[in-house]
Amino acid sequence: MSIQLNASVTWVGKKDWELREFHGVEYSTHRGSSYNSYLVRDEKVALIDTVWQPFAKEFVANLKKEIDLNEIDYIIANHSEIDHSGALPELMREIPNTPIYCTRNGARALKGHYHQNWNFVEVKTGDRLSLGKKELLFIEARMLHWPDSMFCYLTEDNILFSNDAFGQHYATEFLFNDEVDQAELYQEAVKYYANILTPFSSLVEKKINEFIGLNLPLSMICTSHGILWRDNPVQIVEQYMKWAQDYQEDQITLIYDTMWNGTRRMAEAIASGIKMVSPETAVKLFNVGRSDKNDVITEVFKSKAILVGSPTINRGILTSIAAILEEIRGLEFRNKKAAAFGCYGWSGESVKMIGRLLTECGMELMDDGIRALWNPDEDSIAQCVEFGKQIAAAAR
Ligand SMILES: Cc1cc2nc3c(=O)[nH]c(=O)nc-3n(C[C@H](O)[C@H](O)[C@H](O)COP(=O)(O)O)c2cc1C
Ligand SMILES: [Fe+2]
Ligand SMILES: [Fe+2]
């Protein structure tokens, strides 16, 4: 299936409705995804990106229905990751001499993945490739999200091909942002930002300012995953700017795990204390052992403060909590406050340990945290409520 976007650009990608896990099992894709590839026809013909490896044969077969492969003059590889370059080996078997335009890091990474000496043409920001009446302008986007990442911009049509940036793992029967459920779209876009792009927020900010400085008119942003932004495409750029600048909402998220529900009861009592002082604050609870990790991370991203709870087990913490804290550490969230809580039976190390891990995550501790012996009694629950009230005030 291919879809004509305008007189010169055709979408030749793949919608992957079945996908439920991406990056191994690192990223949950409840709504599938798509791998967007584009054919640009002027006097010359350029193919921008391909699709994920499992769909390579299907992709090339489909492309042949759209065009004689020998008519493709240039291949543009905006990003070497397998979900976009995975069909290159299949394609290059048919047209082995076609030049592949990419960044220097892109050429290195493509060689590193496929071990082929294809005809790489290295490009830098500001380089232009004439297609006849229109040009492709290249813009390096280093570390957004790999060292090789790049955007390209089609003049006359004013289309930005942004690859992973501004994307969403979101399969739909539609292709454009104005056609889909807006809440679903927002959810997938913010999840994508929180889980993939947060560590690069300062670069996102810089890159967007650089792009604005180029003063290029923008009619459409063609991403490499999910829907394309044609209705007010600047909205997602503005949204990224907000997300990149230490984003937070008036939300406090409690994440915990428990063996015998004591730590859950603590979480609920703390949450009720927060609500007493700060009824307007969104307060959300997640047992991370039973929750989707990426959804929890998205809620952490939106929060001004998080509370993390684990009972003590073998003088330490539950592995689910250790795992999510490791995830949070790597994502380098900024400007968030935190505190720890948890039940214990004798030695009770968990709260201190979580506190230390939260500090390593770059979070500011609001409090030393709160412990409760065995399953909390009425007094302990009352202390948790008080703790919640203090947290609500400290998180202001
Ligand atoms: C396998 C296991 C190991 C434990 N190890 C410790 C420990 O090293 N130190 C400690 O203070 N409590 C330890 N405990 C006791 C728990 O922290 C205690 O039962 C707590 O109340 C459980 O909280 P929960 O209801 O949130 O699961 C352990 C409990 C279990 C089941
Ligand atoms: Fe990627
Ligand atoms: Fe991707």
Residue 100 confidence class, pLDDT cut points 50, 70, 90: very high
164 is catalytic: yes
169 is catalytic: no
Same domain, yes or no, for 116 and 220?
A: yes
First CA to last CA distance, the chain: 52
Query: Of 139, 135, 101, 136, which is closest to residue 120 (Cα–Cα)?
Result: 101
Same domain, yes or no, for 229 and 261?
A: no
Same domain, yes or no, for 268 and 333?
A: yes
Same domain, yes or no, for 131 and 193?
A: yes
Q: What does the pLDDT look like over 260-303, one tens digit per residue?
A: 999 999 999 999 999 999 999 999 999 999 999 999 999 999 99
79 to 31, 86, 201, 227, 376: CA distances (angstroms): 23, 11, 19, 18, 52
Atom of ligand 1 nearest to the CA of 257: 26
Distance 224 CA to ligand 3 centre (A): 6
pTM: 0.96
Same domain, yes or no, for 63 and 157?
A: yes
Contacts 24+ apart (CB under 8 A), 195-200: 195/27, 195/294, 195/297, 195/298, 195/331, 196/27, 196/145, 196/164, 197/144, 197/145, 197/165, 197/240, 197/243, 198/301, 198/331, 198/332, 198/333, 199/330, 199/331, 199/332, 200/143, 200/144, 200/145
145 is catalytic: yes
115 is catalytic: no
- Residue 366: inside a domain, yes or no? yes
From 198, 218, 244, the end of a domain falls on 244
For residue 59, the domain's CATH number is: 3.60.15.10
Q: What is the mean pLDDT of the chain?
A: 98
- Residue 108: inside a domain, yes or no? yes
Distance 375 CA to ligand 1 centre (A): 10
- Residue 312: inside a domain, yes or no? yes
From 218, 244, 270, the end of a domain falls on 244
Q: What does the pLDDT look like over 314-347, one tens digit per residue?
A: 999 999 999 999 999 999 999 999 999 999 999 9
Same domain, yes or no, for 279 and 372?
A: yes
| Residue in 49, 90, 140, 164 annotated catalytic | 164
Q: What is the pLDDT of residue 339?
A: 98
Same domain, yes or no, for 192 and 235?
A: yes
Domain that holds residue 15: 3-244
| Residue in 35, 192, 193, 247 annotated catalytic | 192
- Residue 90: inside a domain, yes or no? yes
The finding on whether 267 has its CB within 6 A of some atom of ligand 1 is no
Same domain, yes or no, for 220 and 350?
A: no
pLDDT exceeds 90 at position 1: no
Same domain, yes or no, for 224 and 290?
A: no
Q: Whose CA is nearest to atom 28 of ligand 1?
A: 313
Q: How many structural domains is the chain composed of?
A: 2
231 is catalytic: no
Measured between alpha carbons, how far is 369 from 307 in angstroms, rounded to an integer?
A: 9
- Residue 348: inside a domain, yes or no? yes
- Residue 396: inside a domain, yes or no? no
Q: What is the pLDDT of residue 321?
A: 98
Mean pLDDT, rounded, for 379-383: 98
From 244, 264, 290, the end of a domain falls on 244
Q: Whose CA is nearest to atom 17 of ligand 1?
A: 344
Same domain, yes or no, for 222 and 264?
A: no
- Residue 54: inside a domain, yes or no? yes
Same domain, yes or no, for 323 and 382?
A: yes
Same domain, yes or no, for 62 and 164?
A: yes
